[in-house]
Amino acid sequence: MNQRLPTPQDVHTAAARLTGCIVRTPMLRNAMLDAATGATVLVKPEVLQRTGSFKLRGATNALLCLPEATRARGVVAYSSGNHAQGVACAAASFGVPATIIMPSDAPAIKRDSTAFWGAKIIPYDRFTENREAIAAAVAAETGATLIPPYDHPDIIAGQGTAALELAMDAATAGLTLDLFIAPAGGGGLMAGSALALSDVSPSTSLHTAEPEGWDDTARSLATGERLRNDMNGSPFCDALLSPMPGALTFAINQRLVTSGFTVSDVEVRAAQKFAARTLKLVTEPGGAVALAALLSGKATLHGKVVGLILSGGNTELE
């Protein structure tokens, strides 16, 4: 990949660029969560973002970075749902057409929400068809610009604004993050977060959270090389089913991230229930993996200040 690696300054620039375009989600505290973990837990609820996911940040930043004439020709993206909604919503904000390549088994709530923003949806079979090839064909035919889900400097910088906001809010409260945990699919959220925190909170220990069977980032961090998933794991955490870490994202995460945690579907379900009952927040499975890692005791937390991102809330309620 011949793209430059983004920098911490790119995250700061993205934060300024996104002002007024996204929701600046709050930092939440909960006494029962602190008691359950023995830590001071600072929650960044990206479930409250306009599209129910942090993905709007990167998508909007990427579109804002396009020249106006290029943006007018439209955009195309491939996604299981959250990046799809982010691109569709951002495109609608700028009045440009969007085409989204979505797996045919994507949750109905994600398909419906993407369609709500006016995007054209092209379904595909995630196990037998190549979403990148389909998107490339659409781009070639229409002149649209491809907005990838994670492995792009503008996407990474935009996603990092969530962690930047959390660190700033923590500092305002007189707190410094000892640990930070975020979900990882392709690794864009953590890569952007790592860039931001390396600048404003360099003592923070960074950790990814992934579902069992889809722990490519954790394994890659442990071995020092990008490793693939076998694609045979449970599809429960549908937002995190990437084949392997991105080239750009892993180049950043390998340098800045300490390790990765892996959680089971049972632990994710328990975290979803805790979020709903105690935090009063609806999370999708992939959006709850960082909380699952926290609640299941994957890290030593006693007395520490821990930041985590609830990355998405687009799930079927049943």
Give the CATH number of the domain where residue 99 resides: 3.40.50.1100
Outline where 19-74 has alpha helix (H).
31-37, 55-64, 68-72
Rounded mean pLDDT, 61-68: 98
- Residues of the chain with pLDDT > 90, as a percent, come to 94
Contacts of 108 by beta carbon, 8 Å cutoff, 6+ apart: 316
Residue 114: domain span: 56-151
Please report whether residue 316 resides in a domain: no
Summarised one tens digit per residue, pLDDT across range 270-280 is 999 999 999 99
Tell me, yes or no, whether 34 and 81 share the same domain: no
Tell me, yes or no, whether 167 and 272 share the same domain: yes
Domain count, the chain: 2
User: Which tokens hold the place of 316?
Assistant: 């079927």
| Rounded Cα gap, residues 277 and 264, in angstroms | 20
What's the pLDDT score for residue 2? 59
Compute CA 296 distance to the chain's CA centroid, rounded to the nearest angstrom: 21
Please report whether residue 252 resides in a domain: yes
Confidence (pTM): 0.96
Quick check: 47 and 26 in contact, CB under 8 A? Answer: no
Tell me, yes or no, whether 195 and 254 share the same domain: yes
Quick check: 15 and 2 in contact, CB under 8 A? Answer: no
Rounded mean pLDDT, 169-182: 98
In this prediction, residue 3 has a pLDDT band, given cuts at 50, 70 and 90, of confident
What's the pLDDT score for residue 300? 85
Please report whether residue 1 resides in a domain: no
| Rounded Cα gap, residues 16 and 294, in angstroms | 31
Tell me, yes or no, whether 141 and 185 share the same domain: no
Q: What is the 3-state secondary structure (H, E, C) of 147-190?
A: CCCCCCHHHHHHHCHHHHHHHHHHHHCCCCCCEEEEECCCCHHH
Tell me, yes or no, whether 50 and 82 share the same domain: no
Tell me, yes or no, whether 242 and 184 share the same domain: yes
Summarised one tens digit per residue, pLDDT across range 4-23 is 999 999 999 999 999 999 99
